[in-house]
Structure 1
Amino acid sequence: MRVYPKFILSATDAAHFPAPSAPEIAFLGRSNVGKSSLINALLGSKQAHVSSTPGRTRAINFFSITDKPERQQAQMIFADLPGYGYAKISKSISAEWPKFINPYLAERPTLALCICLVDSTIPPQPSDIQLIEYLQSRERSLLVIGTKADRLSGNERVKAMNLLRKGLNVDGLLFCSAKTGAGMSELWQTIQSAASEK
């Protein structure tokens, strides 16, 4: 699918969020899980900054997505949230996450889908479990993406998928690889479906 992304702004405070308009897709994950790589693979461009230093993103970065370059109005908006995992996540998400994350996830009216990225090559992490439980408690639509799936053989993939489903207590789980493109068309379908329902 060909899309035309455009960077809108970086928000470091709830007051900086763009006015709610198009359906928003939020990307969340532990630092170094491959979030920026996945967003760039989806968009077909280097919009999200890929850093070798985990935890670099300290703001929510908003991107407008359209299907035609001349279209001014965003059809959907991607929100790239800061990575977590360096400090223990508390019940209110995390002391180390900036304070504006909670209001975004809890109150944003245009938030259509939360895409939670987890590393498919390791068991479910406590911080991932807490984040998913938090989103479920807020009745947010979510999809769990297992990243780095290209590093697993067919048999390992089945085992990892079962382990993550059980450990994270989710049904919606998709393995993707930014490197090979595996799972990307299914992910786009889920995003479009969530956006059209909002």
Structure 2
Amino acid sequence: MRMHPVFLLSATDAAHFPAESKTHDAPEIAFLGRSNVGKSSLINSLLGSKEARVSSTPGRTRAINFFALYETPGGRKKATPFLIFADLPGYGYAKISKSISAEWPKFIEPYLAERETLALCVCLVDTNIPPQESDHQLITYLKQQQRPFVVVGTKADRLSKNVLAKNLAALKHAHGLDEILPISSKTEAGIKTLWQAIAATIS
């Protein structure tokens, strides 16, 4: 099936979330991770397009950006999406002003805790750096909320197989996980496997 992604909207408040009546309860896949971990690049790899804007400036995404996936081109007016991607703001970047960071819980936490159409959270962790406490807090939160999630290790192409295996083992131990999917938006390694995980969740 060929996908036709369309940028839907940006939300900085729970009132801005896509109305279920317009998306017909299409399941949503949320992408979460530290600033500059590669969320937009991963979304573009999954979509096979450049819908998500990639910035070299950490913390640039300060809203939840929603992308609707259609089976037919230009289908927004005639068809309903079969899936929605939600690109959430990154966290853990010290240079982001505290005033902006303070606003995030007002719409990010309600989205993660209350959004009925949220089917899966894709948590991104950087395989090139040691385990981060902010990542651990997110994973713990999702466990507490009983939200289905999968953890992917980004930028895996930058490491040798031995170093990657060692770093993945450290990440799994630190975050209490049985599995982390190594992935590379550059080589597209792991993209097919992640799509399979998404399909298994929404089927």
Q: After TM superposition, is the score higher than 0.5?
A: yes
Partners of 1:38 and 1:183 in 2: how far apart? 10
C-alpha deviation, 1:98, in angstroms: 4.7
Runs of 4 or more above 6 Å deviation: none
In structure 2, the partner of 1:37 is 41
Partners of 2:193 and 2:3 in 1: how far apart? 16
Which residue identity is paired with 1:184?
I
Partners of 1:26 and 1:172 in 2: how far apart? 19
Partners of 1:159 and 1:67 in 2: how far apart? 40
Does structure 2 retain, via aligned residues, the 8 Å contact 1:112–1:195?
yes
Partners of 1:67 and 1:187 in 2: how far apart? 19
Partners of 1:172 and 1:192 in 2: how far apart? 18
SS at match of 1:171: coil
Q: Does 1:10 align with 2:10?
A: yes
Partners of 1:173 and 1:56 in 2: how far apart? 26
Greater Cα offset, 130-139 or 58-67: 58-67
Partners of 2:146 and 2:171 in 1: how far apart? 20
Q: TM-score normalised to the size of structure 2?
A: 0.89
Equivalent runs, 1:92-103 vs 2, <5 Å: 95=102, 97-103=104-110
Q: Does 1:158 align with 2:175?
A: no
Q: Does 1:69 align with 2:81?
A: no
Equivalent runs, 1:1-198 vs 2, <5 Å: 2-20=2-20, 21-69=25-73, 71=75, 72-86=79-93, 95=102, 97-196=104-203
Which residue identity is paired with 2:143?
Q
Q: TM-score normalised to the size of structure 1?
A: 0.91
Partners of 2:157 and 2:2 in 1: how far apart? 23
Which residue identity is paired with 2:11?
A
C-alpha deviation, 1:122, in angstroms: 1.0
Partners of 1:112 and 1:22 in 2: how far apart? 9
Does structure 2 retain, via aligned residues, the 8 Å contact 1:143–1:173?
yes
Does structure 1 retain, via aligned residues, the 8 Å contact 2:71–2:81?
no
Gaps of 5+ in 2: 95-100
Partners of 1:36 and 1:133 in 2: how far apart? 23
Q: Which has the higher helix share?
A: 2
**Percent identity for Structure 1 against Structure 2:** 66
SS at match of 2:7: strand
Partners of 1:2 and 1:121 in 2: how far apart? 33
Does structure 2 retain, via aligned residues, the 8 Å contact 1:142–1:172?
no
Partners of 1:147 and 1:6 in 2: how far apart? 24
C-alpha deviation, 1:67, in angstroms: 2.9
